[in-house]
Amino acid sequence: MPVDAADAIGAVQRLAAERDAAIAREKQVAAERDAAIAREKQTAAERDAAIAERDSLANENAIEDRASRKRSEAVERAEVAGDASRPEGDVTMASASGSAEKQPKKPRTSIVMAEYADLFRRCVVEETAEVVREDAQKSSSRQPWAGGEQAKPTLHAELRMMETGAAGQLESNAAIDEVVARLLVDGVIDAITGKPRSLKPNGSHAPLLRLGPTDSDKMATTSSPVALDLLVEEKRGGGGGQSRDWWSARLLAEAEVVCATLAGAGTDNLLALNRPKPQATGHAHRPQLPPFDAIIVDEATQASEPELLVALQHGAPIVTLVGDEMQLPPTIKSEAARAAGLGVSPFERLVRAGQSKCMLTIQYRMHPSLAHFPSKQFYHGRLTDGVSERERPVPPGIPWPNPGMPLTLIDVPNGKQKGTENSKSLFNMEEAEAAVRAVYMLITSAAGADARPLDTSDVGIVTPYSRQVEEIKKLAQKRLGAATAARLEVRTVDGFQGREKEVILFSCVRAAPLDKNGPHEIGFLSDGRRMNVAITRAKRGLLVLANVRTLRHARSVTPRSMPAAATEEGSLEPTDGARAWRAFVEDAEARGLLLDAAVLPPVPDSACRRTTLSDAADSDDDSHSDGEGGSSSKRGRGHGWMGPGAKRSRHAPW
C-alpha cells in the first residue's frame, strides 16, 4: 500500500511538471507571436513613412512645376499681347554687356488683398429689372440663407438686385494705400525661413504691386514705387518696344503680393491671368492653374456677395476673410436689395451659420486707455494691448482732464444741429468750431519729452454726417489756411473704416433742443457699429465732441439693420448704439474725462496767414531734409496756445 502511494505521488508530480512545461511553451509561443506582430507594425510604420516622404517630395515637385507653368503661361500671354516679332530668349533680361540675366524665380505664394468697392453698373439692374421686381415680390416669404442648397438661388437673386451708389472708390483706395504703406515698411515673414523679408522693389523685380489709383498725395507718394501703371510706364520708357499689356502681364506674373480693391480685382489686366491662351486652331488652351495661391479680403464685413465674387473668381484654393461684424456692414441703397438681405455681408452670414472662426484679441493700434471702453462694450473685455503707453505718448496741446489718458469727452452744450429741407444730412457749427480749435492746439504745440510733434496729416476728423464734413472743411480753410486745411483729413465714419491716425476728433453733431426733456433721437449714432469704428481709429489720442446731455438721454431704438456681436458659441447678440453712448458717458464720468468746450481758446485771426507762411517754409525745409523724418523743423512751429508746461523746440526728438 505505501509503495502504491509513492508511485501515485510521483505520477502526479510528473503530470504537474509536464503541465508547467506546456504552459511555459505556450507563453514562449505567445511572446514570439507578439514580437512578430510588433515587427510587422514597425515595418508598416516605416513603409507609411516612406510613402509619406515620397508623396511630400512629389507634392513639392508639383508645386514647383505649377509655378514654372504659371511663369511660362504668363510670358506666353505677354508675347500674344506684345510685339509678336520680339526675339526669342526675351524671357531673360539682357544686360548692357550683352550677357543674359535670368528673371527672379516666382515664389510659391501670391496674395491679392482686396477691400470693399462699388462694382456693378446700373445697366445690369436695368437689363434685369423684371426679374428684380419678381424677386422683390417674393422677398417677404424668402427665408434667410443658412447655407446648403438654398445658397445658389439666394445669391443669384441678390446678384441681380445689386445697384450702384454704395461706397465710392475713394475710401477703398485709401484703405489699400494704408496696407501698401505698412507692407513697404514692415515687409513680411517668410513662411519657409521664418525671417522677415522686404517687399520693396529691387532692381527689375517688384515683389509688391498696387493696382488702381491712389487716394491722397501722401498715400500716392507711398504707393507710387509699387503702382503697376507707373511701373509699366517706367519699363516702356526703357525701350524694347513691348506693349503696355505685355509689361503688365509680366509684372503681375512675377509679383508675390498684389494689392487691389474688390473693383481692382476685376480689372482686365488681372483677369487676364485667368484666361486660357488661344491656340492657332482657334481652340482654347487647357484650363490653367489659379494665378494666386491665396486671397485675403480685408474689411470683409463691408463686402456684399456680388462684390466678394469679383475676387473669388480667380479661383484661389485658400480664401481668408478678415473683418469685424461689430463694424460697418455693406452700404446698400437699393430698397429691393436690402429687402432680399444684401445688406448682410457673407462674413456675417457665415458667423451666423456657425462657421469656424478665430478672433484676433491683441490690438496694436490704440493707447491702452483708448482700448479700454471698446473692449468692454463690444468685445466682452477680450482685447489685450500689444502696445504700451510709452509707445503711444500723450499728444501735447490738449488739456487732457486725466493726465496719462489721451481721451476726453468734450461737452458742447450750446451746439445746435441743423439741416436743410433738401437734405437729410445734419451739421453742427458749434462742434465744427470746437474741432478746428482743437486741431490748431494740437498742431501748434511743441513735442513732449518722449514724442515727436504732430503734423496736420497726423490728425483726422470723423463725423457721421456728410454735411458736417463739408462745414468742417470750409471752417478749417477759413481759420487755418488753405494749405493746412488740405492736409487735414475730414471724412464720414463710413469712409474711415480701415484707416487710422495719431489723433482722431469725432463730432457727434446730434444735439437736442435745450427745452426738450426726456429721451433724445440720435440718428446715425443709433448704430453701435458706427460708434465702434469712430472711437477705434486713433493711435495716441481721441477727442469726442458732443452734447453730453443728448448722449446721456439717448433713446434706445432698433436700427433697420441691427448691429450684432458674435459670442464664443457663434450665436449673435444685438447691441444698441444708444445704450453704448450712454455707457460711454458713464465711463467718461467715472474716469474723469469730461471737458467743457469753453476751455478751447479761439484760433487767432492771424493763424491763417501764419500757417500759410509756415507751409511755404516747410517746403524749403523739406528740400534739405536727410532721410525719413529728417525734417523735424517743419513741425511744431505755430504760435498758438502751447498748453500747460509746454516748451518749444525746433528739433524735437522722434
Which pLDDT band, with edges at 50, 70 and 90, does 105 fall under?
Answer: very low
Strand partners, 554: 520
- Please give the grid coordinates belonging to residue 285: 488652351
pLDDT at 100: 38
Question: CA 295 to CA 257: how far, in whole Å?
Answer: 10
Q: What is the DSSP letter of 173?
A: H
Which pLDDT band, with edges at 50, 70 and 90, does 544 fall under?
Answer: very high
Which pLDDT band, with edges at 50, 70 and 90, does 183 fall under?
Answer: confident
Strand partners, 491: 462
pLDDT at 251: 83
- Using an 8 Å Cβ cutoff, are 225 and 203 in contact? no
Question: CA 236 to CA 233: how far, in whole Å?
Answer: 5
Predicted confidence (pLDDT) at residue 161 exceeds the cutoff of 70? no
Of 199-208, 215-224, 270-279, least confident by mean pLDDT is 215-224
**φ, ψ (nearest 5 deg) of residue 334:** -75, 125
**Dihedral of CA 562/579/505/521: which sign?**
positive
pLDDT at 226: 77
- Using an 8 Å Cβ cutoff, are 507 and 462 in contact? yes
- Using an 8 Å Cβ cutoff, are 184 and 220 in contact? no
Predicted confidence (pLDDT) at residue 59 exceeds the cutoff of 70? no
Please state at what angle helix 305-312 crosses helix 151-161, rounded to 10 degrees. Answer: 100
More confident residue, 593 or 119: 593
Question: CA 184 to CA 107: how far, in whole Å?
Answer: 18
pLDDT at 568: 35
More confident residue, 604 or 92: 604
**Residue reference for cell 445697366:** 123
pLDDT at 314: 82
pLDDT at 225: 75
| Residues 455-469, mean pLDDT to the nearest whole number | 96
CB 623: neighbour CB atoms within 10 A?
7
Residues of the chain with pLDDT > 90, as a percent, come to 29
- Using an 8 Å Cβ cutoff, are 440 and 640 in contact? yes
Half-sphere exposure of 357 (CA within 13 A, CB side): 23
| Residues 481-504, mean pLDDT to the nearest whole number | 92
Of 154-163, 242-251, 356-365, least confident by mean pLDDT is 154-163
Which pLDDT band, with edges at 50, 70 and 90, does 480 fall under?
Answer: very high
Predicted confidence (pLDDT) at residue 334 exceeds the cutoff of 80? yes
The C-alpha angle with vertex 543 and arms to 540 and 548, in degrees rounded to 5, equals: 150
Question: CA 160 to CA 153: how far, in whole Å?
Answer: 11
pLDDT digits (tens, 9 = 90+) for 129-154: 443 344 444 433 333 323 222 222 22
More confident residue, 398 or 188: 398
Nearest to 365 by CA among 176, 544, 504: 504
pLDDT at 311: 86
Task: Return the H-helix or E-strand segment holding 8.
Answer: helix 2-81
Select 110-133+154-274+289-360's CATH number: 3.40.50, 3.40.1350, 1.10.150, 2.60.40: 3.40.50
pLDDT digits (tens, 9 = 90+) for 355-407: 888 999 999 999 999 999 999 999 999 999 999 999 999 999 999 999 899 99
Ranges 296-310, 436-450, 527-541, most confident: 527-541
**Residue reference for cell 507653368:** 69
pLDDT at 333: 86
Predicted confidence (pLDDT) at residue 469 exceeds the cutoff of 50? yes
Predicted confidence (pLDDT) at residue 421 exceeds the cutoff of 70? no
Q: How many residues does the chain have?
A: 654
- Please give the grid coordinates belonging to residue 229: 501703371
pLDDT at 66: 64
- Please give the grid coordinates belonging to residue 213: 489709383
Report strand pairing: 538-546 vs 501-507: parallel
Question: CA 601 to CA 573: how far, in whole Å?
Answer: 44
Give the sheet arrangement for strand 459-463, strand by strand.
Answer: 489-492, 459-463, 501-507, 538-546, 407-411, 594-596
Predicted confidence (pLDDT) at residue 336 exceeds the cutoff of 80? yes
Question: CA 119 to CA 169: how far, in whole Å?
Answer: 9
**What class, spelled out in words, does domain 392-557+573-612 have in CATH?**
alpha beta
More confident residue, 583 or 249: 583
| Mean pLDDT value across the chain | 73
Burial of 255 (0-12, 13-18, 19+ CB in 10 A): buried
Domains 110-133+154-274+289-360 and 392-557+573-612 in one fold: yes
DSSP per-residue letters across 592-649: T-EEEGGGSPPPPTTHHHHHHHHHHHHHHHHTT--STT--GGGSS---S---TT----
Return the domain boundaries, the chain: 110-133+154-274+289-360, 392-557+573-612
pLDDT digits (tens, 9 = 90+) for 274-306: 655 554 444 444 445 567 888 888 888 989 988
Q: What is the 3-state secondary structure (H, E, C) of 189-253?
A: ECCCCCCEECCCCECCECCEEECCCCCCHHHHHHHHHHEHHHHHHHHHHCCCCCCHHHHHHHHHH
Nearest to 209 by CA among 218, 200, 217: 200
Ranges 156-170, 175-189, 393-407, most confident: 393-407
Strand partners, 608: none
Nearest to 289 by CA among 54, 59, 74: 74
More confident residue, 232 or 350: 350
Residues of the chain with pLDDT > 70, as a percent, come to 64
**Residue reference for cell 503681375:** 252
Report strand pairing: 93-94 vs 362-363: unpaired
Which pLDDT band, with edges at 50, 70 and 90, does 198 fall under?
Answer: confident
Strand partners, 505: 461, 543
The CA-atom distances, in angstroms, between 536 and each of 323, 335, 374, 380, 545 are 14, 30, 8, 16, 15
Nearest to 372 by CA among 363, 360, 395, 507: 363
Question: CA 442 to CA 482: how far, in whole Å?
Answer: 18
Predicted confidence (pLDDT) at residue 203 exceeds the cutoff of 80? no
Question: CA 369 to CA 540: how far, in whole Å?
Answer: 10
